[in-house]
């Protein structure tokens, strides 16, 4: 089993319900076991078309025997069931976005998947939930979550008291 962290995000079609359904789907994912879910965070959309609704975000910790590309395909199927249509405008609104953030200590760069997720160190909506799950988590090649947080302290993000689980 490998510990993986998955970022969840939604800003369309009942975002809270989208994230709840995603966590339900991850809970029953074969060859995997859900170990933790952060609380929800609200953040403004990065880039993309102006006027988008705010995003709801969370991060889950999952142990799995899936290989990275197999897991990515499973996550994309969950997104599809949540109404995600591909291709979509870069940084546009989403019914559901599931990002494979970390796969153990694996580092890889390919046309379909890069690990750790590119830009992970620049995103408060990823680092804050990761900190909640494991503040001393090592991001391969970048340092600990705790060490990365000060660099994004200027980003607006709101921690909500609920979780999508």
d(CA 151, CA 122): 8
Neighbouring CB atoms inside 10 A of 40's CB total 20
96: pLDDT strictly greater than 70: yes
91: pLDDT strictly greater than 70: no
Q: Please give the pLDDT value at position 120.
A: 96
Give domain limits for the chain: 2-159
The structure's pTM equals: 0.94
The CATH homologous superfamily to which domain 2-159 belongs is 7,8-Dihydro-6-hydroxymethylpterin-pyrophosphokinase HPPK (3.30.70.560)
Lowest mean pLDDT across 3-17, 42-56, 61-75, 108-122: 42-56
pLDDT band at 48 (very low <50, low <70, confident <90, very high): confident
DSSP 15-82: HHHHHHHHHHHHHT-TTEEEEEE---EEEPPPSSSTTPPPEEEEEEEEEE-S-HHHHHHHHHHHHHHT
d(CA 101, CA 87): 20
Mean of the per-residue pLDDT values of the chain: 93
Q: Please give the pLDDT value at position 150.
A: 95
Q: Please give the pLDDT value at position 34.
A: 97
Give the residue from 57, 76, 74 showing the smallest Cα distance to 65: 74
Q: What average pLDDT score do residues 63-86 get?
A: 91
Q: What average pLDDT score do residues 5-19 get?
A: 95
Residue 79, CA distances (Å) to 13, 82, 97, 126 in order: 13, 5, 6, 18
pLDDT band at 61 (very low <50, low <70, confident <90, very high): very high
Catalytic residues: 84, 94, 97, 99
Highest mean pLDDT among 77-86, 139-148, 149-158: 139-148
In sequence order, which residues have a C-beta less than 8 Å from that of residue 22 and are 6 or more positions away? 8, 10, 78, 82, 96, 98, 164
Q: Please give the pLDDT value at position 89.
A: 64
């Amino acid at each position: 089993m490998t510990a993986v962290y998955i970022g969840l995000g939604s800003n369309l079609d009942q975002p809270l319900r989208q994230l709840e359904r995603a966590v339900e789907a991850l809970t029953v994912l074969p060859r995997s076991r859900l170990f933790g879910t952060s609380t929800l965070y609200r953040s403004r959309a990065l880039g993309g078309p102006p006027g988008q609704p705010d995003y709801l975000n969370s991060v889950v910790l999952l142990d799995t025997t899936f290989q990275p590309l197999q897991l990515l395909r499973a996550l994309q199927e969950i997104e599809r069931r949540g109404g995600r249509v591909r291709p979509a405008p870069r940084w546009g609104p989403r019914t559901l976005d599931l990002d494979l953030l970390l796969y153990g200590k694996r580092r890889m760069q390919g046309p379909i998947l890069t690990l750790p997720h590119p830009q992970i160190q620049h995103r408060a909506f990823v680092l804050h939930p990761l900190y909640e799950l494991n503040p001393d988590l090592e991001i391969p090649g970048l340092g600990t979550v705790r060490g990365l947080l000060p660099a994004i302290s200027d980003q607006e993000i709101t921690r909500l008291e609920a979780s999508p689980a």
